[in-house]
Amino acid sequence: MDLMSLLQGHLTEDVINQLSQQTGAAPEQTATAAQGIFSTLIGGLAKNASTEGGASGILSALDTDHDGSILNDVMGLVSGAMQQSRGTTNGAGILGHILGGQQQNAAQMISQTSGVSQNGVMDMMIKLAPMVMGVLGQQNQQQGGLNTSALSGLLGNAVQTQNSNPLMQLATRFLDQDGDGSAIDDIMGMVGSKLLGGMFGGK
């Protein structure tokens, strides 16, 4: 099972409903936003892990802060009830490492494709980022410690297996932009309204 499937498995109805209450969006919109967030973060991690230094940095974070135990209480994480830990649950810090200065642009992209407000998406990103690292950390534990090559392969495979998913296509194209500030318009033009309409039930 690939990383995206593992992440989707933790998006229970209760988790989606909890996030929906916080964002004020419909559950269907919230679920779409969550998928977009996962796609963007996995794509960002894959891009970072494509270099030896980037992969080593991710492995260091996994060994230090992310063993997968956070997945035992996903509801506690998204509701805010989970005790905060500087590394494990520091969603804002995780986002900074994965997306750098692209966080607001990513939130705007996901907002436009899901219907969840940009502020709502940012809040969701902060809550869901630790889940992404948790799933990756769980794989690191189960496989007895990944090396840089195995990590890069695991993340690259997650992107490749989701290549037919329009949300992953959006995310990877977004992450390949040159940061000139026009990424959103470029991406929306590349994907096209017909594809987006089909993806979200023709709404």
| pTM score | 0.81
Per-residue pLDDT of the chain (203 residues; tens, 9 = 90+): 688 889 999 999 999 999 999 999 999 999 999 999 999 999 889 888 888 899 999 999 998 888 889 999 899 899 887 766 666 788 899 999 998 888 988 898 899 889 999 999 999 999 999 999 999 999 988 888 889 999 988 988 888 877 667 777 777 777 776 444 444 444 444 444 333 444 334 33
Burial (CB < 10 A; 0-12, 13-18, 19+), residue 22, is middle
What domain range includes position 13?
3-199
**Which tokens in the block code for residue 189?**
């033009």
- Amino acid in position 104: Q
Domains of the chain: total: 1
Q: How far apart are CA 33 and CA 107, in angstroms?
A: 9
In angstroms, the CA 18 to CA 136 distance is 23
